[in-house]
Structure 1
Amino acid sequence: MDMIADILTGFVAQMQKPTLAFLIGGMVLAACGSKLEIPEPVYKFIVFLLLMKVGLGAGISVREANLFELAVPAVAAAMVGIAIVLFGGQTLARLRGVTQMDAMATAGLFGAVSASTLAAGMAMLDEEGIAYEGFIGALYPFMDIAALVTAIVLARLSAERKAAAQISTQPGGAAVLAGGGGHGAGNAQMVRGILVDTFRSAAISALLLGLALGILARPDSVYESFYDILFRGLLSILMLIMGMEAWSRLSELRRVAHAYVAYGLLAPLVHGALGFAAGLLVHQMTGFSGGGVVLLAVMAASSSDISGPPTLRGALPEANPSAYVGTSTGLGTPVAILSIPLWIVLADMLIGV
């Protein structure tokens, strides 16, 4: 009972923090029918600055980081992203009303990383005075790209197999399949195209730019005098936007299978637990900090709200955006952010932070 009481007490305390308060405030405004709107260019600019802050901070830390200490959590992050897609895609595809394409798109979005959720996790750890590795931001693209590529490749291969099966049932189909020996080269080309598109996406581009500048240049002064100072204020505005967006997306879920509702509510907790377990393993191997374990869980629990949707729209046009975007933004993101206190309390109990 004491453990449950500690978790509940910590959770309630975190609800009063600015990050979660602004998220809930945005949801309340939208629920009340408020006409408040944040212009799209302002939203994109805020996201860009936040990603640059995360990338610069990670790059500055990577300069002095031990390569082994960085490589192990990076591999763990990629493996967690892939595991989420494999598990989530297979689980969703078995549920009534969910197509294989929509299942993989949704799993890919949940396997990828939300920049806003990661930023929220960092802000909450900073408020609590909990230390974490400065290179944590560098783990973002490992999990994000691994998940998106896995989801898109598996969805495309499944679609090709389905199309090939249909052709084989038609007169002359066997001859068509017999001449299709270039599938291996075609799949390799498709994977290369996905990687290129993912690296060119706005979110990954901004993050990698900040990472490169932090490693190769000396942006410490502008980082401390501009990006770091603005971080919390900009994050509060982003949380307000995310809250309003989350509420508006809930209506889209009425048009798709109820399975997505269950997935959106439960997946962030399951995925976060997977990321937390991976973080504990890295902690045992390298001395990974308790704050780092929390943020790995936060990244795993999150679902992409920036790089994922446009990447999936371009690579999987057959998938239903109301299903994967609605599930992610309407349910996955708020649940992931609201679960951050859980990972903090667990890390404190198991590791001490």
Structure 2
Amino acid sequence: MDIIATIASTLVEQFQKPTLAFLIAGMMLAALGSKFEIPEPVYKFIVVVLLLKVGMGAGISVREANFVELIVPAIGAGLVGITIVFLGSRTLARWRGVNEVDGLATAGLFGAVSASTLAAGMAILDDDGIAYEGFIGALYPFMDIAALVTAIVMAKLSAARKAEAARAVGGGTMVLSGGGMSGGKSGDGAIEEGLLKGILVDTFRSPAISALVVGLALGIFAEPGSVYKSFYEPMFRGLLSILMLIMGMEAWMRISEMRKVAHAYILYGITAPIVHGLIGFGVGYIAHQLTGFSAGGVVLLSVMAASSSDISGPPTMRGALPEANSSAYVGTSTGIGTPVAILSIPLFMALADVLIGL
């Protein structure tokens, strides 16, 4: 009963904090039919500033981080991303009526990371004065890339198997569009040469990953401390509150779109963030036992696992899997998964408080 009471009190407390309050306010604005909107260029600017701040903060801390302390959570983050995709391939992608490629694309986005959700988690911990490793932002690309690559490769393999089966039945030749299989590759479901390299390049070139990596590099190899403290830190909270308003309105609008999507996606969008967050919590707890990974770090690894990519993932999926239904994976991720992930942050904080101590 103590753990239930702790979780309940933490939930009530966190709903009153600015980060979650602005998210809910955005949903209310959309529900009331408000004409409030943020121009797309402003939204992109906000995201870039947030990611540069997260990246630089991580890079500054990585310079003084113990290699073992960093590498263990990094490996764990990558494994979490891959595990989430495999779990989705055995659940959502096999649900009756769900196209397997659509299901894998959705699982890929849920295995990848939402930078805004990670930023929200950091802000909540900062508000409560809970310490965490400064290199947490550096774990983002490990989980993100691992999940996206795994999902896309599995989707290509699935498409190749179906093409081979159709060719065997029809006695003809089938070539997949989108690079899954070509005339020079047949019979074994082989992936088009260079696919993995292309996915990695596209991922690193995406605005979100690029901003994060640039910030990380600046933090490690330069000395951006003055501009970091004078510009990025003071701007961070205000910009994050605006981003939460935008996400709240977008979430409400995409929830209405989900009526056109199979009920499987709705169920997955509601349950997956919590299940994935618990997987991340488990891996973080192992890292805590092995290296002394902080309780705050365990919470943020859970938040990353619970989140679903709303910036870097969709364009990557559209480019690599043009045959996948974007309304399914984007609607499920942004419309349901992201709000559930943000609202579940207090759950992971309460678990960390009970099992580790915040």
Please give the range of the TM-score, normalised by the shorter of the 2 chains: over 0.9
Aligned to 1:279: 284
Contact 1:62/1:215 (<8 A) preserved: yes
Once the 2 structures are TM-superposed, how far is the Cα of residue 170 of structure 1 from its aligned partner? 2.4
Q: Secondary structure at the match of 1:169?
A: helix
Given the alignment, which residue of 312, 316, 327 partners 1:311? 316
Aligned to 1:225: 230
Aligned to 1:75: 75
Aligned to 2:211: 206
Q: Alpha carbons of 1:15 and 1:178: their partners in 2 closer, same or farther (altered >3 Å)?
A: closer
Alpha-carbon distance in structure 2 between the residues aligned to 1:87 and 1:100? 13
Contact 2:160/2:190 (<8 A) preserved: no
Q: Secondary structure at the match of 2:152?
A: helix
Contact 1:96/1:257 (<8 A) preserved: no
Cα distance per residue 1:174-196 (max 9 Å; x no partner):
9xx99746978754411111111
Normalised TM-score (structure 1): 0.96
Alpha-carbon distance in structure 1 between the residues aligned to 2:165 and 2:190? 20
Aligned to 1:121: 121
Alpha-carbon distance in structure 1 between the residues aligned to 2:184 and 2:249? 52
Cα distance per residue 1:264-301 (max 9 Å; x no partner):
00000000000000000000000000000000000000
Aligned to 1:29: 29
Percent identity, aligned pairs only, is 72
| Aligned residue runs from structure 1 range 158-307, under 5 A | 158-171=158-171, 180=185, 186-307=191-312
Once the 2 structures are TM-superposed, how far is the Cα of residue 88 of structure 1 from its aligned partner? 1.1
Alpha-carbon distance in structure 2 between the residues aligned to 1:108 and 1:187? 19
Contact 1:246/1:334 (<8 A) preserved: yes
Amino acid at match of 1:335: V
Aligned to 2:9: 9
Contact 2:157/2:191 (<8 A) preserved: no
Once the 2 structures are TM-superposed, how far is the Cα of residue 173 of structure 1 from its aligned partner? 5.7
Aligned to 1:39: 39
Contact 1:52/1:210 (<8 A) preserved: yes
Alpha-carbon distance in structure 2 between the residues aligned to 1:199 and 1:304? 14
Contact 2:164/2:187 (<8 A) preserved: no
Q: Alpha carbons of 1:15 and 1:314: their partners in 2 closer, same or farther (altered >3 Å)?
A: same
Alpha-carbon distance in structure 2 between the residues aligned to 1:283 and 1:162? 43
Q: Alpha carbons of 1:25 and 1:164: their partners in 2 closer, same or farther (altered >3 Å)?
A: same
Deviates more, 1:161-170 or 1:209-218: 161-170
Alpha-carbon distance in structure 1 between the residues aligned to 2:226 and 2:183? 62
Alpha-carbon distance in structure 1 between the residues aligned to 2:60 and 2:350? 29
Normalised TM-score (structure 2): 0.95
Aligned to 1:96: 96
Amino acid at match of 1:316: L
Q: Alpha carbons of 1:180 and 1:319: their partners in 2 closer, same or farther (altered >3 Å)?
A: closer
Alpha-carbon distance in structure 1 between the residues aligned to 2:121 and 2:185? 48
Contact 1:89/1:106 (<8 A) preserved: no
Unpaired runs of at least 5, structure 2: 175-181
Q: Alpha carbons of 1:186 and 1:329: their partners in 2 closer, same or farther (altered >3 Å)?
A: closer
Question: In the alignment, does 2:154 pair up with 1:142?
Answer: no
Q: Secondary structure at the match of 1:64?
A: coil
Aligned to 1:106: 106
Q: Alpha carbons of 1:202 and 1:345: their partners in 2 closer, same or farther (altered >3 Å)?
A: same
Alpha-carbon distance in structure 1 between the residues aligned to 2:185 and 2:45? 46
Given the alignment, which residue of 331, 343, 348 partners 1:343? 348
Contact 2:19/2:241 (<8 A) preserved: yes
Alpha-carbon distance in structure 2 between the residues aligned to 1:212 and 1:90? 37
Size of the alignment, in residue pairs? 352
Once the 2 structures are TM-superposed, how far is the Cα of residue 204 of structure 1 from its aligned partner? 0.4
Once the 2 structures are TM-superposed, how far is the Cα of residue 206 of structure 1 from its aligned partner? 0.5
Amino acid at match of 1:233: G
Q: Secondary structure at the match of 2:357?
A: coil
Contact 1:100/1:155 (<8 A) preserved: yes
Unpaired runs of at least 5, structure 1: none
Q: Alpha carbons of 1:162 and 1:349: their partners in 2 closer, same or farther (altered >3 Å)?
A: same
